[in-house]
Amino acid sequence: MATLSQSTQQMHKTPRRYHCIHCLREADSLFRTLGPKTSLKLSVCANCGIDVDPYVEREAFLVAMDVVLLRQDAYRHLLLNRFVESGFDVQRDWRKAIRYLLASGILQTYLLWESHHGNNDTGTRAAGNRESLRDLLDRQDQGTISLLLNIFPQAVARIVALWLVTYVCLRRFSRQRATEKKILLTRSYLAVMIPTYFAVVTILVLVWENTYTVRLLGSLLILTYQVLSIYTIASAEGLQPKESTVAIILTIVCNSFISWSLSRVIGEMNGVPCTGLMYDIGPQMSLCFS
């Protein structure tokens, strides 16, 4: 018969950093170990009387499926508990955070390049009727490198801008003042960064059909994941639904203006490169919301 070991609770160095995925009440641990770490017993929430986080016992693939299906409990597990359990911290693990950022920037750069390429298909076909195929390909190759070097810093800067704007908005409206700044900084980083990797799905579809509809749907899907992630963090910080909605709207609008400013400072393209929903606000001026 399994006996309760001396270290009965698996606790993080900083207590009360976990959250119940049902009622969002803070908890000291997610599970206890019985015997020589051969079995686990989930911790029970002191507020609602349900297991704090049943996703602890599930495989990563099942968790990912629930995230794709927009199940809020899965987002709470991923953003509030899973990375806390693994000990990930943006400030301490900044090299890893930069690698994640650069990988996401590469994906976004490719989507922006495909968007620019798709928007110029008509002009390219018309030009091909007036010049040789060899000259046309040479001109496109020379422009592709400069275009990618132009877009990549914008893609990375826009992700960083969205992260910082999200952090500032959540910090401004937060009622949980006891929450450490570095915890909120890490959570907002994950809320922005994780959804961007779903761009892989859009890229796979673009291989078969590079159209505005495909890019728009893929961009709106990522935006939906980011909005739900930010709402999850906002709920954990004690924001009411109205305050969460205001914070999300401010985040999207501010990020759009920042993206437009970056495109004017870094790039030479008219407006802002965009993979999804764009709104024209004047001659050669547009805002990208997704």
Question: Does an H or E element contain 44, and which?
Answer: none
Cα–chain center distance at 176: 23
pLDDT by residue (tens digit) across 203-261?
Answer: 888 888 878 888 888 888 888 999 999 999 988 888 888 888 888 888 888 777 777 77
How far is residue 197's CA from residue 242's CA, in Å, rounded to a whole number? Answer: 28
How far is residue 199's CA from residue 159's CA, in Å, rounded to a whole number? Answer: 13
Residue whose C-alpha is closest to residue 77's, from 49, 101, 42 = 42
Q: Give the model's pLDDT for residue 73.
A: 92
Judged by average pLDDT, the poorest of 54-58, 199-203, 262-266 is 262-266
Q: What's the Cα-to-Cα distance from 179 to each of 174, 182, 236, 237, 273, rounded to whole Å? A: 9, 9, 10, 8, 36
Q: Is the pLDDT of residue 284 over 70?
A: no
Q: Give the model's pLDDT for residue 30.
A: 83
Q: What's the Cα-to-Cα distance from 167 to each of 87, 181, 185, 198, rounded to whole Å? A: 20, 9, 6, 22
Encode 78-97: b = buried (16+ Cβ within 10 Å), e = exposed.
bbbbbbbbeebbbeeeeeeb
Judged by average pLDDT, the poorest of 4-8, 51-55, 129-133, 280-284 is 4-8
pTM: 0.79
User: What is the average per-residue pLDDT within 278-290?
Assistant: 59
Q: Is the pLDDT of residue 170 over 70?
A: yes
Q: Is the pLDDT of residue 37 over 70?
A: no
Q: Is the pLDDT of residue 54 over 50?
A: yes
Q: In 3-state terms, what secondary structure has residue 20?
A: coil
How far is residue 28's CA from residue 24's CA, in Å, rounded to a whole number? Answer: 13
Q: Give the model's pLDDT for residue 74.
A: 92
